[in-house]
Amino acid sequence: MLDIKFIKTGNPKPIPGPENPLVFGTIFTDHMFVMDYTEGKGWHDPRIEPYGPISLEPAAMVFHYGQEMFEGLKAYKTEDGRILMFRPDKNIERANNSNRRLMIPEIPEEDFLQAMKELVRIEQAWIPTKEGTSLYIRPFVIATDPFLGVRPSFTYKFMIILSPVGAYYPEGLDPVKIWIEDEYVRAVRGGIGEAKTGGNYVASLAAQMKAHEEGYSQVLWLDGVERKYIEEVGAMNIFFKINGTVVTPQLNGSILPGVTRRTCVELCKAWGLPVEERKVSVQELEEAARTGALEEVWGSGTAAVISPVGHLRYEDEVFQIGDGGIGELSQKLYDTVTGIQLGKIEDTFGWTVEVK
């Protein structure tokens, strides 16, 4: 159990009211959690202090070699005033998997959970309650040794910041247009694709800008070797409903193991739908789209929740999915996931954790 020191802000910010059209990731709450790591001493000095700039040496290793891990999860306020987090155990497990891959020291699971809970409890007035909003939790670790040689750092900072958010995409639940990228790749097996780390996101920017210029919101990546098999969207995992079967690319080492991805798989299975986690080639998709077998496409992610896809572009072809609107299963998944997150639907899976 961490002994977390609390340093209260003397300068609280105004909390956005329900009239504020929250967009994703622009407003931050009054406090943040910080804990340091020193080799030989372990994690130490856990504290919750006023949110604000931090001081690092320009030589801090994170700036040069990208040794960092981040996570993303959300807290919600229910109609009867309870505070719920959604599957934090899965984010903590993934964070430590990322840490191991990135040679960052692991964070004890119970300390990680306690830190998030205490920060959310202190900042509970910031949890927005309007439809489609939540309090986004962003834990991250950065390497802080001032050193220009390439090796794992001996010192780190673990921080958690909070942001009241609305929909990740400006489209909200309206279907997004996705660009299947055939030039750049995001990750390769054996690389860091399954770790949640900044490097995977910077790798996506060039293709994302290219797609944006063509009017597409996101890039769907193909595998890094053959550029033949579907991987993920970067900010989301991807699902297809083909002839009644729910299909999603199998976790192969280069795909991020999404918590919402797992939730979709578990819900669809519980509803008795056939679910296949397997290789999906872009050719199979093209064929399914042409014959009308491709009934629905949606992305899943913590930030994006369930994001229906209306159009897919591959090379010079654009495929409309169904009538280009929100598919029935995508809508049902969205309603169920957000219903459980907000405590409106009974959580028979034991996915929510109450912050008391």
Residues that bind ligand COI (CB under 6 A): 72, 235, 301-303
Between 195 and 303, whose beta carbon lies closer to ligand COI?
Answer: 303
Which tokens belong to 213?
């210029």
Q: Residue 12 to residues 52, 125, 126, 332: CA-CA distances in angstroms?
A: 12, 12, 11, 39
CA distance 47 to 20: 30
DSSP 126: G
The residue nearest ligand COI at its CB is 72
Q: Which is nearer to ligand COI, 155 or 197 (CB)?
A: 197
Among 78, 131, 124, 92, CA closest to 305: 131
d(CA 68, CA 34): 15
Nearer to ligand COI, 319 or 351 (CB): 351
Provide, rounded to whole angstroms, the least separation between the CB of residue 317 and ligand COI.
27
221/319 with CB nearer ligand COI: 221
C-alpha separations of 149 from 45, 60, 100, 120 in Å: 27, 11, 20, 37
303 or 329: whose CB is closer to ligand COI?
303
Nearest to 126 by CA among 174, 168, 65, 77: 77
Question: Whole-number minimum distance, CB 236 to ligand COI, in Å?
Answer: 7
Distance CA 68, CA 142 (A): 5
Instruction: Give the tokens for residue 19.
Output: 């009239």
By beta-carbon proximity to ligand COI, the closer residue of 22 and 303 is 303
Q: What is the dihedral of CA 273, 277, 281, 284, to 10 degrees?
A: -20
Minimum distance from residue 183 beta carbon to ligand COI (Å): 21
